[in-house]
A and B are shown apart, each in its own frame.
Chain A
């Protein structure tokens, strides 16, 4: 026990002797949290519209007015030249071009189907679909008005309608900061822990100082534990800093128990550090380790469901996430912080993380050889 304690002390001294790293460990998370968390939103604020009204009747103007009255659409341009409109779309000046063909008002007045031609810039498929959905909503209202007018002329029975109301739980105003903070926090801890721990071991290998430890009676498991504990502590301090920033700067709600959150992140860190040390036993230079780390971290991050929903991934990717520690910590962070999930609610995630942590650490201890 005392050996481990001394080893850990040695590691701490070594880490903080490099002034830059000592500052960066805490500085980078603070700066990135403050900068990045408020940056991200998915909501479309407004869709820029270009209208070609070839009809110029009351009906077409009605429709345009309804579009203008909705919160999403902004009519930026209005032209009679299709080429000009397409050019605007081409140059990203507008997102949608809506063309009202001549005769639109006459036809709808007579009760015939009125046609509308819409062109959307669909490079960003999600945005295009969403603006299409919004546009359809406006047109549907317009249609409903026509129906209501026509029917009330014929009879007095109202049109049967299902009304939809909706509520967003846990995050009523859909504040994206609440969604991003737990995610960004997870990534930062992952990246810092993984890189520091792995590089630390490879560096000892590269400069040969590892030999000096190998010839001492220190056991393999003691060595690995001493390499893990400092970074575990640093990671948890970063977590605490991040949570404080969340509370003070962004006023993120804190529904669940902090203890579960720290427990989850601690197990997660053990898993990550275990994997980092395991990989570093394979790498002979820091460069090699770095590229492998790069590979794993990017995969862990982008597949964890931090930025894109897990449900949208193909089935094989969802299977892979069973061994992706970042996917678990992601869910734990969000569930506990925003939804107030209890230990029982996240128990599956916690147990899975424990298994992963044990496997990775065992692999690291097993692979580490004292003999060259």
Chain B
């Protein structure tokens, strides 16, 4: 048995069952719908005024979480992988958020 086969067997023993193809397609439909809403918001979202941007961000975040959680299977993955991935995300958000804030990208202090 090679390393890969060994790992695969171990993975099968420990991994919770993956979604079925039908479920994956359903997820894809959800993603497509969310994208559609986003594009629609782009065109008519002015009616929401200042809420347009947060709404777009929420939609994007939803798509992000869905792909990460279900397609990348991170929701069901061992915590170590979640931590590696999540830490990078958090550090990026924090550091770049502060840089943008400090440099006036959000037009708050300047």
Does chain A bind chain B?
no
B residues in contact (CB < 8 Å) with A: none
Listed in ascending order, the chain A residues whose CB lies under 8 Å from chain B are none
